[in-house]
Chains A and B, each alone.
Chain A
Amino acid sequence: MSDGNGTAALVLDAENITKQFGGLTAVSDVTFRVPERSIVSIIGPNGAGKTTFFNMLTGFYKPTYGRIEFAGRNVTGGRPDVIMKLGMARTFQNIRLFATMTAMENCLVGQNSRMHAGLFRSIIRTPGVRREEARVREKAHEELSYVGVARRHHDWLAVNLSYGEQRRVEIARALASDPKVLLLDEPTAGMNPQESEELTQFMRRLRDERGITIVLIEHDMKVIMGVSEHITVLDHGEKIAEGGPAEVRANPRVIEAYLGKQAAEEEH
């Protein structure tokens, strides 16, 4: 990881991405560039293609057209686990923890790509494997504490944790792999304003303390305007605006997309 302070090196560069499902164009010719150590957002009304776009970045969908470069490599249409290994971790809109594993074990799975133990060495349990196990367990505890899950809850099954804690564990699981880029898909969904504010603070901390780039899909305008350096607005699969928070907020096309044409006209 190069510390590209000052130079606005791109960690993620998606050029002219289009995704068609049969006759439906879910994402149309979107270019999306993310500088290192930044916090950027993708917003848009429901069905705008935000999650589809995320799924292309993380390798779940192959773009119909376009090219995605991540950390200097072409990852267009690459396998999700390979892209994850390169340093792109994500959370899901509806929490997808491994429900019957403990919070701890969830974070161990998150480190899968950072481990080397294979079938035979795991059976023999070589000293190397033992050391690795100890290391990843230590790391899992650290990450869980870092996101604020109480130590006594580390060994609880994920299903038994509260909603807020499940959100935290999901972030810890993603962080356990030491990602370069963290993609958060509506992380504040279901949170009260205070929890949302805490999460906003936490995102800044992640960026400042660990140099992680954050890409955010969000609906909560307060969170978006408060934390993003750069906002991309999608509507019907197209990029209709981008820029800083103030710029985007004043853009008539954005107001139109969110509130309807009439509201946009009244505003001006």
Chain B
Amino acid sequence: MTGTAPAPGRDVEPGTKRGGVNLPPWAEKAFIPVFFVALILLPFAMDSGGALLGDLTLALAYVVMALGLNIIVGFAGLLDLGYVAFFAIGAYTMGWLGSSFFSSVNNEEGIHIGVQGAAANLPGIHMNFLLVLVFAVVFTTIAGMVIGLPTLRLRGDYIAIVTLAFGEIIGRLAVNLDQVQFSELPLIGGPLGNFFGEEQVITAGRQGITPVDKIAFPGMDPFTSLELRPWFWTALGLVAVVLFVNFRLRDSRLGRAWIALREDEVAAVSMGVPAVKTKLLAYGTGAAFGGMSGAYLGSFLNTVNADQFQFYFSILVLGMVILGGLGSIWGVVVGAIALSFINNWLIPDVLNTLPADVGLDFDMTQISFGIYGFLLVIMMILRPQGLIPERRREAEMTHADEHADESVFVARA
């Protein structure tokens, strides 16, 4: 429904069996501004340099990433196990275009576009964060489509395997390209070597590109690591953008085409949905948000380090989407915040010494993936549709139950 009137589709009508937590549109519309105003004011209640605000900021960045993956996995139903690739590409975009890593460019004087303060005098490429964001979105969108292409003829688990491999390739490249110089590349090595300098390597591997430029908006001083409020608000801004796009797309021609493809590809194609284009748009859009979040995290964490881009991260983000409820926008927000806090606060800060306290010889952080696995198993048993299920998934689950009941009945008869 495009108007402001409540959509009849969302009214709870007796007999429709339409369960699930789904706010009526007017409530969603009223809820969002209140929610955001509260969040904007939230940092004033906290210490601006404190750990809690840092954890919250990180959680928001993860929300952006989880909502991106939700488009690919939740809306379009393409199980992507290599989402970390887009985090990596976004973060490297930030590292390359916002640090002194390419120290030899422009006769060691550096290239500066729209930056003030200390960064303006450093060697390397230094671009304004907004510009980096644009590059990150462009690069990841292209990467998303490139990874999408080989999966177009595949279904289900096979998509998962190809995307998993793609994520691993990017992860390996991040680790090992610190041994490869631009000038050694075939064909394009000559000009690239001239531009970046003969010795320049492509990534910094496990050492990481650090320090990375702090975010600075045009005409403003760069953020600092002591004042976390601006970081929080920036992340909140990204979340707002991504939420807006998610909601708009969900109720659009494209969003319906995604769901139709997820439900029944043959029927969707025979109803005129172009499968290739529609899937590539899902990969591209989802990847773009991974890239946005990656660029932000590159700056926020002040390092672009190959250890960040390993398989576990893809699973962590996928865990957020599944925990919250596949395809459910608010569910994914909740799932991302919850898992982010479990990952960055509960396990390392609260529970870490628990095994030692009871006389065991390990830290909780060493078994964090065991904990996530346990959480997912519990979820699958108690609430397989996620914390805040999307009504479609809810319908799928109840439908499956009905079938189970029928077969029980038949078996008895």
A130 within 8 A of B: yes
A125 within 8 A of B: yes
A197 within 8 A of B: no
A29 within 8 A of B: no
Residue of B18, B253, B267, B399 ringed by the most chain A CB atoms within 10 A: B253
Given the known A-B contacts A96-B267, A157-B395, are A113 and B272 also in contact in the complex, defined by CB atoms under 8 Å? yes
Q: Nearest residue in A to B10 (C-beta to C-beta)?
A: A155
Contact A98 B252 (CB under 8 A): no
Q: Nearest residue in B to A122 (C-beta to C-beta)?
A: B252
Q: Which secondary structure characterizes the binding site on chain B?
A: helix
Q: Which of A101, A104, A117 is close to B259, meaning CB atoms less than 8 Å apart? A: A101
Count the B residues whose beta carbon is within 8 Å of the partner chain — how many? Answer: 41
Q: Nearest residue in B to A183 (C-beta to C-beta)?
A: B270
Contact B395 A159 (CB under 8 A): yes
Query: B386-410, CB under 8 A of A: which get 1 and which 0?
Result: 0000011101100100000000000
Additional A-B contacts beyond A79-B274, A156-B16 (17; CB < 8 A): A80-B270, A81-B274, A98-B263, A98-B268, A101-B392, A102-B9, A109-B256, A112-B253, A112-B257, A117-B253, A123-B245, A125-B252, A129-B252, A133-B2, A152-B13, A155-B13, A157-B392
Contact A173 B263 (CB under 8 A): no
State the Cβ distance, A53 to closest chain B Cβ, in Å: 15
Contact A96 B273 (CB under 8 A): no
Binding site for A on B (CB under 8 A): 1-2, 8-9, 11, 13, 16-18, 244-245, 248-249, 252-257, 259-260, 263-264, 266-275, 281, 285, 391-393, 395-396, 399
Contact residues in A for B264 (Cβ distance below 8 Å): 96-99
Q: Nearest residue in B to A117 (C-beta to C-beta)?
A: B253
Contact residues in A for B267 (Cβ distance below 8 Å): 92, 96-98
Q: Which of B248, B256, B268, B273 is close to A105, meaning CB atoms less than 8 Å apart? A: B256
Contact residues in B for A237 (Cβ distance below 8 Å): none
Count the A residues whose beta carbon is within 8 Å of the partner chain — how many? Answer: 50
Contact A84 B271 (CB under 8 A): yes
Contact A177 B272 (CB under 8 A): yes
Whole-angstrom distance between the alpha carbons of A146 and B6 in the complex? 25
Whole-angstrom distance between the alpha carbons of A60 and B272 in the complex? 12
For chain A residues 67-95, which have a beta carbon within 8 Å of chain B?
A: 79-82, 84-85, 89-90, 92
A160 within 8 A of B: yes
Contact residues in B for A137 (Cβ distance below 8 Å): 1
Q: Which of A81, A118, A132, A152 is close to B269, meaning CB atoms less than 8 Å apart? A: A81
Contact A108 B272 (CB under 8 A): no
Contact B393 A100 (CB under 8 A): yes
Contact residues in B for A60 (Cβ distance below 8 Å): 266, 269-270
